[in-house]
Structure 1
Amino acid sequence: MLSNRRLRVAHLLTGGALLVTAGVAQAQSTDAATPPAAQAAPPAPETAAVAAEQDGGGLQDIIVTARKRLESVQDVPVSVTAISAATVRQQDLTSLEKIAARTPNFSVGRASNGSGAQLTMRGIGSSSTSIGIEQSVATVVDGVYYGQGRIINEGFFDLARIEILKGPQALFFGKNATAGVISLTTADPTDQFEVLATGRYEIKSEQVQAELIGSGPLTDTLGVRVAVRGSKMFGGYYRNEAVPFNFVTTDIATGRQTTHVAEPSPREAPGEKELLGRITLKWEPTSDITNTLKASGSYNKVNNNSWNYVAFNCPTGRSQLTGYQCGDEFVTHQNKIPASIAASFPFAKEDGSLYNRYKSWAVTNNLVWQLEGVTLTNVTNYNWNNNRWACACDFQSGPASNWATENSTFHAFSNELRAQTNFDGPINLLAGALYQKTKRKFSQFIILGNVEDSRQSAANRYVGTSKTSFTDGETIAGFGQVVWKVVPTMEVAGGVRYTHETKDSFFTQPYNNAALTAIFRPSNSADGLGIINADQTFDDWSPEATISWKPNGDILVYGAYKTNYKSGGFSNGGINSAFSPNPFDDLTFGPEKARGFEAGIKTTLLDNQLRFNVGAYTYKYSNLQVDFFNSPIFAFQTLTADARTKGVEVDFEYAPRALDGFNLHGSINYNRARYTSFPVAPCYAGQTPAEGCNLALAATGNFTRQDLGGAALSVAPEWTGTLGASYDTIVGDGFKIGGSVDARYSDSYIASAFDQPDSRQGSYVNLDASIRFGAEDDRWQLAVIGKNLTNRFYVTGVVDGPSTGGGTGTPAGLHADQLGFGTLPRTVMVQVSTRF
């Protein structure tokens, strides 16, 4: 680790540099590592590659499709960060977490259960605890929307580019993008045949990875690209320091007690295994028609689904469950399900091993037909995924532990058809329609209360409670835009999306241990509330308008009014609590909406050597979806709050012609994200009246709520910034050497959605660097890629430790342990690649 003195120096150097740098759109440029074939290939409307590089140094342009048409990143009136294929390879940006670790104002928290992730942009994100909540930051792959948090389990490789669009994006990317969009475009076949083979070894996790890509023409009109990647970890990122303990169950039928041994889960986690594949067929029968078919599949398995949960801050310094020392280290304490219980437990491994196994496949067909003055585009997709896990669900294992298993399947079909004019006149139009059909099936089995029932089947003997649920969804949307070139230098655009959506859901708890029916309402509950059916319908109009002015080719000034809508839904993984008078309200929640303004200026200066962009925004969010565990009634509930996020983002990129191959880039961002109205927010565990837990609910008369008006949102640092440089140059006879260094700074922030002061994450600097050496024509390359070289532990989400804390709403309140979603430690990867 760096010494404190070195860390202080790093903070000072980074902070000083950020004062002279500037984040609306840090456009990372294509560099010499981009294959010549890819540079020469004409861009397709949906999969445009980075534009050809400039001669003699200077900036390189990037083509984006933020408005579903080809535009330079400097010409699009949208706050967008664009990352080229070359940068993805050089910095190994092959997961959402790795993308977030180098992007200001964007974070990804990997969660064990619920939705599986918390994606946050500009302080707006979605709670990870509910599988039914779709992300406010939408992920779009090859033009297709993926709203599920489990997208974090996908490995993204062989990309043509990444676009990070900030703020609401309703018109072009649909519902559920109230905070922004991560748009990923995979690579298309090349005009000439080539094979790219890459081998990688990451030292910390002892991960071996191999990647093979073959691409080229099959005929004059048909091209193919096949990409496969496999990896295996022989170690891990986190160390599990748990020891065996006895787990004693009581048989409610006989009163007999049985001792089971809970062995530690693997010492090194996550021990990941991964296999990914994609095949792309691109058919161009005429110059007017392009049809691109992509089929992909993925398999990912880890040895503990909560491998990154760390008790980083505890009231006494030690875990209230286990007595282990708490701290901000890459250390966990989790045990397997006792093998004697796991042998017959649904979805458990025979030896009780913890795990997360994710499988998925998808097929996308993109048809583009260029007519005279009109472009027709049709995008059809079917995707399926299954996620299965076994969890130490206290995240700190001990004699009164809870474990659970889950099996969840999601699949979706969608078709989007749109027409876009490209007339020479001042007015052009866009019109389109989307149809989507989805289905989620969910089941979960939980061990809790140290109970068993020998009268039950082997599968149910050790089950405390089980859940089964499903949701069928259907969406029909229409959207349109009018673009008016008022004068050659000024454009006005206005559009709207209409969305009609239905969700039909079912939930019940089919089996409950008889000792726990006072907590969990059974299916045959006498009050008739044991089976919940919800038929929900949502309708929304989301308009937007933009005005942009280009006084010359190097300056763009724009302003926009934007809105968006995220659908309500159903918490398939919730709880039907016997204490709750209205479980329907616990399991359902309403839609989230955003509206506000954004403005900016983008400039290209010094003879195409300097980009300098400034932007500002302010957005109001109504019914922001916030999920929490209501311990007094033992139920998960999704509440809604109002919030505002506003800020300023500045970025720059400098590529001097006098030093060909050199690039300096940076950004600085100010963001203020606060609740504007949350008058009956839940108290965090152990919060006292003096700390604000001083509001009583009429149903109980106890202090259980607080007013969070004016409090900061979760994972919303006020100041973030980046500073980096890269340089590639020819050396010797036919060789090339290069390197890059990138620092990302984050101000401190509250990680809890409920203003829990113990969840505060301190400020930090994250440092990445790489060095590469290879052939001038890119036939081979050796690279070393380092990430988080400061080895800084930080959290990107948090939960109150289950079964910790107490006395909420009383002067004797004791805060819960804070369990954070930790990020990756220092990693160093050696990469060897060859192209032929």
Structure 2
Amino acid sequence: MTKSLPQHFTRHPLSLLIGLSLAMQSSVGFAQEQTSKAEKQGLETITVTAQKRAQNLQEVPVAVTAFTGDEMAESVIKDMYDLQTNVPGLGAFQSQSATNSSFSIRGVGTSSQNFGLESSVGLYVDGVYRARQNSLINNLVDMSAIEVLRGPQGTLFGKNTPSGAVLVTTAAPSHSGGDAFVEATFGNYGLMNFSGATSISAIEDVLAFRVTAFTSQRDGTISDIALGEDKVNDRDRWGARAQALYTPNEDVTLRIIADYAEINEICCGAPVQMTNFEANEIPGKYGSDAAIASLGGTAFPGGKAFFDREIAVSFLPESSMKDRGLSAQLDWDLDENYTFVSITASRKFESYDDIDTDFTDVDLFGTSNDSQQTSFSQELRLDYTSDKLNYILGAYYFEQDLDLAY
């Protein structure tokens, strides 16, 4: 005799099937609706300037990853270190100090330890070349777009782009007044970020100004056993940008930008991941940690102690930078095919770092670098665009003076 199941047990499989059926039908209907909309609307147009002029990304024969300012905000891209997590092949590195930051694309980069070496990744902000890569590690605030070009870009961007280029475009002044914002962020370790920007229309459709400012403060994330808790790898930076946009008629546009940014941080800490006090399985074979201990220094055990984020140094490392510049870009539409572009810029960059290069609390070695760099650049370009032919004629002049004391 077969015993029948209670009624409340026999209803659940049926109701589950109905639920799945309804969900599947709903999903299919939604997908068909979205496909129908996509067919009517077509593909989204993404405009980039990878070839020195505004183009549809699908028409550019370059490997490009592009973000708008809104997309950067949605992805929480606050600086170049955040950008690398969203761009395939892009690397951003910070070694002994913030002034020794460098970038690579597809694994090709240049050491930041030698101030005389030029980067393999060209960095451009509003069309102006940044010779010192450290000048771009500050916060990315009030951006219009960022484009990362992978592969050699020497034809249009010069000799310092064998691995690629990063093009940063800031938000321009507007007459609408609807693009102003104020942002505040708070987090652990005492993090406080403030930023804001606004546009001012002085003469309607002719002259507009835009002011942008930001500041970022945070305690350190690494402690020194003698010099204090949460002292190392802190955040202390700020910057401001002022712009003027002059459009006397629909054919001429003049944009003038003045910017200033500053970093003054205790950076960077290097916790011990593995001890070499004594070689594994070789009794009596001692390494440098044993020598440090014999001199009265602190030798960390490594392993799990690495995650305690503690170091022992003779003095706290110091990293400071000041970056400022002035640029002017003139765009003149000569006719429906020709556009004349002139970009003039003058920049000054200063950096100072003082680090304990033995990375122990034994007073053995220390290194300081005090550098100053000034540069002037002038770009002249004639762009021709038509339905069947596009070309660029141009000339570029760049001069820099780099002084280093150590």
CA deviation profile, 1:508-539 (whole Å, cap 9, x unmatched): xxxxxxxxxxxxxxxxxxxxxxxxxxxxxxxx
Question: After superposition, where does 1:423-434 map in structure 2 within 5 Å?
Answer: 423-424=386-387, 426-434=388-396
Q: Hey, what's the Cα distance between the residues in 1 that align with 2:223 and 2:185?
A: 25
Structure 1 partner of 2:88: 104
The alpha-carbon deviation at position 332 of structure 1 amounts to 4.4
Q: Hey, what's the Cα distance between the residues in 1 that align with 2:196 and 2:389?
A: 46
The answer to whether 1:147 aligns with 2:131 is yes
Q: Hey, what's the Cα distance between the residues in 2 that align with 1:192 and 1:133?
A: 44
CA deviation profile, 1:100-150 (whole Å, cap 9, x unmatched): 122221111102359612312111111222111121112111111113232
The answer to whether 1:169 aligns with 2:153 is yes
Higher relative contact order (CA 8 A, sep 6+): 1
Q: Hey, what's the Cα distance between the residues in 1 that align with 2:90 and 2:403?
A: 30
The alpha-carbon deviation at position 310 of structure 1 amounts to 3.7
Q: Hey, what's the Cα distance between the residues in 2 that align with 1:277 and 1:114?
A: 20
Q: Hey, what's the Cα distance between the residues in 2 that align with 1:265 and 1:335?
A: 11
Where does structure 1 lack aligned partners over 5 or more consecutive residues? 1-53, 244-263, 338-352, 445-836
Question: After superposition, where does 1:811-822 map in structure 2 within 5 Å?
Answer: none
Structure 2 residue identity aligned to 1:240: S
The alpha-carbon deviation at position 58 of structure 1 amounts to 7.6
Structure 2 partner of 1:798: none
Structure 1 partner of 2:236: 273
Structure 1 partner of 2:257: 294
Change (3 A) 1:93 1:59: farther
Q: Hey, what's the Cα distance between the residues in 2 that align with 1:266 and 1:381?
A: 43
Structure 2 residue identity aligned to 1:306: C
Q: Hey, what's the Cα distance between the residues in 2 that align with 1:391 and 1:267?
A: 17
CA deviation profile, 1:567-587 (whole Å, cap 9, x unmatched): xxxxxxxxxxxxxxxxxxxxx
Structure 1 partner of 2:225: 242
The answer to whether 1:439 aligns with 2:401 is yes
Structure 1 residue identity aligned to 2:353: W
Give the alignment's Cα RMSD to 1 decimal: 2.4
Structure 1 residue identity aligned to 2:342: N
The alpha-carbon deviation at position 390 of structure 1 amounts to 1.8
Q: Hey, what's the Cα distance between the residues in 1 that align with 2:389 and 2:41?
A: 37
Contact 2:243/2:258 (CA < 8 Å) preserved in 1? yes
Contact 2:98/2:319 (CA < 8 Å) preserved in 1? no
Change (3 A) 1:287 1:128: same
Contact 2:51/2:156 (CA < 8 Å) preserved in 1? yes
The alpha-carbon deviation at position 335 of structure 1 amounts to 2.5
**Equivalent residue of 2:73, what SS?**
helix
The answer to whether 1:357 aligns with 2:320 is yes
Contact 1:276/1:296 (CA < 8 Å) preserved in 2? yes
Structure 2 partner of 1:386: 350
**Equivalent residue of 1:74, what SS?**
helix
- Which has the larger share of strand? 1
Change (3 A) 1:100 1:314: farther
The alpha-carbon deviation at position 279 of structure 1 amounts to 0.9
Task: Please identify the structure whose Cα radius of gyration is greater.
Answer: 2
Structure 2 residue identity aligned to 1:118: S
Structure 1 partner of 2:382: 419
**Equivalent residue of 1:156, what SS?**
coil
Q: Hey, what's the Cα distance between the residues in 2 that align with 1:423 and 1:90?
A: 36
Q: Hey, what's the Cα distance between the residues in 2 that align with 1:435 and 1:422?
A: 24
Structure 2 partner of 1:335: 313
- Which has the larger share of helix? 2
Change (3 A) 1:208 1:180: same
Contact 1:115/1:129 (CA < 8 Å) preserved in 2? no
Contact 1:153/1:358 (CA < 8 Å) preserved in 2? no
Contact 2:102/2:134 (CA < 8 Å) preserved in 1? no
Q: Hey, what's the Cα distance between the residues in 2 that align with 1:330 and 1:186?
A: 40
Q: Hey, what's the Cα distance between the residues in 2 that align with 1:92 and 1:183?
A: 18
Change (3 A) 1:428 1:118: closer
Q: Hey, what's the Cα distance between the residues in 1 that align with 2:338 and 2:210?
A: 29
Change (3 A) 1:59 1:202: farther
Contact 1:387/1:408 (CA < 8 Å) preserved in 2? yes
Change (3 A) 1:365 1:91: same
Change (3 A) 1:150 1:330: farther
The alpha-carbon deviation at position 179 of structure 1 amounts to 0.5
The answer to whether 1:306 aligns with 2:268 is yes
Structure 1 residue identity aligned to 2:111: S
TM-score normalised to structure 1 length: 0.40
Where does structure 2 lack aligned partners over 5 or more consecutive residues? 1-37, 281-286, 293-297
Given candidates 164, 181, 191, the residue that maps to 1:196 is 181
Change (3 A) 1:84 1:360: same
Contact 2:99/2:351 (CA < 8 Å) preserved in 1? no
Q: How many residues align?
A: 349
The answer to whether 1:93 aligns with 2:69 is no
Change (3 A) 1:312 1:118: farther
**Equivalent residue of 2:135, what SS?**
helix
Question: After superposition, where does 1:731-750 map in structure 2 within 5 Å?
Answer: none
Contact 1:113/1:129 (CA < 8 Å) preserved in 2? no
The alpha-carbon deviation at position 71 of structure 1 amounts to 0.9
CA deviation profile, 1:691-713 (whole Å, cap 9, x unmatched): xxxxxxxxxxxxxxxxxxxxxxx
Structure 2 residue identity aligned to 1:104: P
Q: Hey, what's the Cα distance between the residues in 2 that align with 1:181 and 1:130?
A: 20
Contact 2:314/2:363 (CA < 8 Å) preserved in 1? no
The answer to whether 1:284 aligns with 2:247 is yes
- Aligned sequence identity (%): 22
Change (3 A) 1:411 1:180: same
Structure 2 residue identity aligned to 1:271: D
Question: After superposition, where does 1:659-678 map in structure 2 within 5 Å?
Answer: none
Q: Hey, what's the Cα distance between the residues in 2 that align with 1:310 and 1:171?
A: 43
Change (3 A) 1:230 1:397: same
Change (3 A) 1:114 1:199: closer
Structure 2 residue identity aligned to 1:355: E
Change (3 A) 1:232 1:376: same
Structure 1 partner of 2:8: none
Given candidates 186, 189, 194, the residue that maps to 1:210 is 194
Change (3 A) 1:386 1:161: same
